[in-house]
Amino acid sequence: MKLPVTSENWQAVDHFFTAHLLPDDPVLQKILDNSRAAKLAPIHLAPNQAKLLHLLAKFGGARRILEIGTLAAYSTVWLARAIPKDGQIISIDHNSKHLQMARQHLEMAGVLEQVELLEGDALPHLRQLAAQNQLFDLVFIDADKRNNPHYLRAAHVLTRVGGLIVCDNVVRHGRLADLSQQDADIVGIRQYFELLAQTPELDSTAFQTLGGKAWDGFAISLVLAPPKSREF
Ligand code: DHB
Ligand code: MG
C-alpha cells in the first residue's frame, strides 16, 4: 500500500535518512539551536540537502566556493568541511546580524580561516569579484529570489568551466509552475529557468524535494563554457 504524500510521512522518511546517514553533530546542532534562539527564519538547508552540497563539492575537488546568502553559516560549515585546509569560501549576506552569528559559528566549527564573509547587497560584491577575474569551482545561490537571474549571470561569469552552479528554493511549494502567482520572488525563480533555457553553455537540471523543508527543490548547472557576455 502506498502512503499518502503528507508532511508527516515525508518527514518520517527524512528522519530515517538522517538517523542512518547523518550522525549527531554538536557543532551543526548548536548552529541550528542558536538560529532558533535568535529567531532567524528557519530557512537553512535540511541536513541531508546540505550533505548533498558537501558531496558535490568533494566530488568535484572544489577548492574555491562562492555562496550568495550566508544566513547563520549552516551550509557554509558543510561546504567548508568539503574543501582542503588551504581552500577558500567567500560568502555574502546583506544582514550584519546574520554575519555576526555566522562568524561565531564558523569559529566554533574551526573553519573561520577558510571563509571570507562579505557584507552588503550581493551584486556589487559579485561585480567586484568579476572585475578581479576571480573564479570558483562551485557557486551556491541561496539569497533573495527576485535577484536570481542576476545571480545566475554573475555565477556563470565567476564559475570555471567544469564547475557547478547550485540554486536553492526553485519550487516554493509548487508556486513555480502556477503562473497566477506573480510576486517578485517567484518571478525571479521563473526567470532563472528562462535564462537557463537560453544558455547552452550551462548544462542544467532541476529536481523537487520533499522533506524537512517541505516542498521545494534545487537547480544544478554544469558550466560547459564561459558566458558570451560578462555583463550582469
Ligand atoms: C526562504 C528562503 C530560503 O533560502 C529557503 O531555503 C526557504 C525559504 C524564504 O525566503 O522564504
Ligand atoms: Mg534556501
Distance from Cα 197 to the centre of ligand 1, integer Å: 24
**DSSP letter string over 124-166?**
HHHHHHHHTT--EEEEEE-S-GGGHHHHHHHHHHHEEEEEEEE
CB atoms within 10 A of CB 225: 12
Task: Output the ligand 1 site: residues, CB below 6 A.
Answer: 43, 142, 168-169
Sheet holding 64-68, edge to edge: 115-119, 88-93, 64-68, 136-141, 159-168, 214-223, 202-211
Supply 195's cell numbers: 535564462
Residue 12 burial (CB < 10 Å; 0-12/13-18/19+)?
A: exposed
- What is the rounded CA–CA span in Å between residue 47 and residue 127? 31
Which ligand is in closest contact with the Cα of 172? 1
Mutate-to-test residue for ligand 1 from 40, 166, 169, highest number of ligand atoms within 8 A of CB: 169
Average pLDDT on 101-125 reads 98
Per-residue pLDDT band at 213 (split at 50, 70, 90): low
Q: Whose CA is nearest to atom 2 of ligand 1?
A: 43
pLDDT of 119-156, one tens digit each? 999 999 999 999 999 999 999 999 999 999 999 999 99
pTM: 0.98
Helix (H, G, I), strand (E, B) or coil at 71: coil
Q: Which atom of ligand 1 is nearest to the CA of 185?
A: 10
